[in-house]
Amino acid sequence: MDLLAALRARRLLAIVRGSDPDAALATVLALAEEGITLVEVSLSGRDALDVIAKARAALGPDAPLGAGTVLSADDARAAHEAGAAFLVTPAVSDGIAAGRELGLPVLAGVMTPTDILQALRLGADALKLFPAGSAGGPGYLRDLRGPFPDLPFVPVGGVDAQAAEVYLRGGAVAVGVGSPLIGDAADGGSVAALRDRARAFLDVVRAEDRA
How far apart CA 113 and CA 126 sit, in angstroms, is 14
Q: What is the pLDDT of residue 208?
A: 82
Residue 54 bears catalytic tag = no
| Catalytic site residue from 34, 40, 54, 101 | 40
Q: Specify the pLDDT at position 211.
A: 67
Catalytic residue of the set 54, 81, 128, 165? 128
pTM: 0.97
Digit-coded pLDDT (tens) for 80-89: 999 999 999 9
Q: Are strands 86-88 and 65-68 parallel, antiparallel or unpaired?
A: parallel
pLDDT in tens, 22-50: 999 999 999 999 999 999 999 999 999 99
Report the pLDDT value the prediction gives residue 210, as an integer from 0 to 100.
75
128 has catalytic annotation: yes
Q: How far is Cα 125 from Cα 201, in angstroms, rounded to an integer?
A: 24
If pLDDT is split at 50, 70 and 90, which confidence band does 209 have? confident
